[in-house]
Structure 1
Amino acid sequence: MLTVYGLKNCDTCRKALKWLDAEGVPHRFHDLRADGIKASDIKRFAAAAGWDVLLNKSSTTWRSLPKSESENVGEAKALALMAAHPALIKRPVFELENGAVVVGFREEQKTALKAAGRK
């Protein structure tokens, strides 16, 4: 069963969950705010997908950060920021049974999720 990491109020996450149900892909939802997220999970996602893919620089949370926090961001700083502000994690994040990580919800990600659901 795949795990969907996101926010319950995120439109994209709601669309993804609805789509997974329609496709018959078994899943469970993990709310980043309500359930929290471990730094080790963020590191694992970043290792699989890339920290720069995982960091959501278009979010309201990113724009509200002080300039000192959002400048000169490398991997270590990005991981620390995402641990401190889970809304900075691009959503949704799908963790497949085989440990693979898929970030986002576009056609490319849907194709990967369909393939995972058939296994």
Structure 2
Amino acid sequence: MTVTVFGIPNCDTVRKARRFLDDNAIDYDFHDVREQPLPLETLQTWLKQVDRNTLINKRSTSWRELSDAEKELLDDAIAIQLLQRFPTLMKRPVLLQQDKLLVGFKSAEWQQAFGL
């Protein structure tokens, strides 16, 4: 089973998620979205699985720094552009388990996803 965690290493929630995977002996790859920005195709695929409001962290500093115009005009295309420009705008972590996508870390949800 291929598992990839997308996020930034210094994010507390990402650290909790990685600790969960380590504690449960689940192998995974980590993708630092600051070091390796997400390709257009990846974001397009994700937005077919989850709503842009799920993927964008509206409590983040990056969101608060956007202009009102950028926030008001938010559609999928603009969301993709913003996520590519500001990777920290993404709600973290994003877990990709084969074709299943989980956004954010909720222990119970992850336990269910891994059958624990």
Q: Does the CA contact (< 8 Å) of 1:12 and 1:91 recur in 2? A: yes
Q: Distance in 2 between matches of 1:96 and 1:49?
A: 14
Number of residue pairs aligned between Structure 1 and Structure 2: 115
**Compared with structure 1, are the counterparts of its residues 90 and 22 closer, same or farther at alpha carbon in structure 2 (3 Å cutoff)?**
same
User: Is 1:26 equivalent to 2:19 in the alignment?
Assistant: no
In the TM superposition, 1:1-119 aligns within 5 A as 1-97=2-98, 99-115=99-115
Distance 1:53 1:33 in 2: 20
Root mean square deviation, CA, Å: 1.5
Query: Would you say the 8 A contact 2:92–2:104 is kept in 1?
Result: yes
Task: Give TM-score scaled by structure 2 length.
Answer: 0.89
Helix, strand or coil: the match of 2:38?
coil
Letter in 2 for 1:111: Q
CA distance in 1 between partners of 2:86 and 2:101 (Å): 20
Structure 2 gap segments, 5+ residues each: none
| 2:102 aligned counterpart, secondary structure | strand
Alpha-carbon distance, 1:114 to partner: 2.1
**Aligned equivalents of 1:53, 1:16: Cα separation in 2:** 17
Whole-angstrom CA distance in 1 between matches of 2:92 and 2:47:
13
1:108 CA drift (Å)? 4.3
Deviation, structure 1 residue 51 = 1.7
List gaps (5 residues or longer) in structure 1.
none
CA distance in 2, matches of 1:100, 1:77: 24
- Give CA deviations for 1:52-99 in whole Å, capped at 9, x if unaligned: 2111111000001122212231222212211221111111000112x1
CA distance in 1, matches of 2:18, 2:25: 11
Local SS of the residue matching 1:8: coil
Separation in 2, partners of 1:88, 1:104: 13
